[in-house]
Amino acid sequence: MSSTLDHIADEIRAHKGCGFEPCEQATNLVPGEGNPKADIMFIGEAPGKNEDLQGRPFVGAAGKLLDELIASINLKREDVFIGNVVKGRPPGNRDPKPEEIAHSWPWLKDQVAAIQPKIIVLLGRHAMDWFLPDLRISADHGNAKRYRGQVYLPMYHPAAALYNGGLRQTLFDDFAKIPKLLEKVKKLPKEEVVIEPAYEAKEEPVTAQTESTTKPKAKETKKADQATLFNI
């Protein structure tokens, strides 16, 4: 019997014809993979070259570091779920555009809803900006936040540590916080979980490949949203 996650993955793999470069130019779309009941869900940016070729998330150099980080807290890839905000490789590994993230969002949202992770680890600023746009990775990495019932943990992207060796230890230090955080989250009073981005990015019409140059604007309800953002 196929699970909800399998169904979403099949849908992603079969997807075509939308006009967005990452979907249209991909060798393989990359749904993400892992434990359907994972307590911890890792969300990165977008597939790179190796991921595009293999159809699997984080299988290149950044993935090797992610595997080491996961092992450092005595877990294996199969224990967690690993995905991305964009399901196709942006051409030339360019940054994903907000409208491309918005385009992949319904799948990611369904994946989060199916898994109901205790913690969503946001790997890098693209994932962080989508869920918690008012944070800054340099200031907020390693600090868990609860937003509308969901606990998020922003982290540097493992690829950043490949370019800036100093971040490697920072990543291991931030990862080391996960086991205690998980115990804490399990004891939190239950709250309704609302998974939605903290701003609205519009999907562009199918044929438009317009340039987006800036971070998407926060919703006008930003103040109200802030009221539900807690440090853990």
**Measured between alpha carbons, how far is 170 from 155 in angstroms, rounded to an integer?**
9
**Measured between alpha carbons, how far is 39 from 174 in angstroms, rounded to an integer?**
17
Q: How far is the CB of 94 from ligand URA (least distance, A)?
A: 13
Q: Is 199 exposed, middle or buried (0-12, 13-18, 19+ CB in 10 A)?
A: buried
Cβ neighbours of residue 66 closer than 8 Å, sequence gap 6 or more: 42, 58, 82, 123, 158
Window 54-73: residues binding ligand URA (CB under 6 A): 57-58, 62-63
Task: Specify the residue for token string 């939308």.
Answer: 18
Output the CA–CA distances (angstroms, integers) from residue 59 to 50, 51, 83, 113, 215, in the order listed: 6, 6, 12, 25, 28
Q: Which stretch binds ligand URA (CB under 6 A): 14-22, 44-52, 182-190, 200-208?
A: 44-52
- Binding test (CB under 6 A) with ligand URA, winner from 31, 47, 55, 96: 47
What one-character DSSP code corresponds to residue 24?
A: H
Q: How far is the CB of 22 from ligand URA (least distance, A)?
A: 12
Q: How is residue 80 written in tokens?
A: 């967690």
| Residue number with CB closer to ligand URA (63 or 185) | 63
The number of residues that bind ligand URA (CB under 6 A) is 12
Window 159-188: residues binding ligand URA (CB under 6 A): 159
Q: How far is the CB of 86 from ligand URA (least distance, A)?
A: 8
**Measured between alpha carbons, how far is 171 from 137 in angstroms, rounded to an integer?**
12
Using CB under 6 A as the binding rule, whether residue 84 contacts ligand URA is answered as yes
| Residue number with CB closer to ligand URA (29 or 185) | 29
Q: Which stretch binds ligand URA (CB under 6 A): 20-28, 39-47, 69-77, 221-229?
A: 39-47
| Residue number with CB closer to ligand URA (61 or 206) | 61
**40-44 and 81-84 strand pairing:** parallel
| Residue number with CB closer to ligand URA (48 or 133) | 48
Q: How is residue 109 written in tokens?
A: 């949202």
Using CB under 6 A as the binding rule, whether residue 154 contacts ligand URA is answered as no
Binding site residues, ligand URA, CB under 6 A: 44-48, 51, 57-58, 62-63, 84, 159
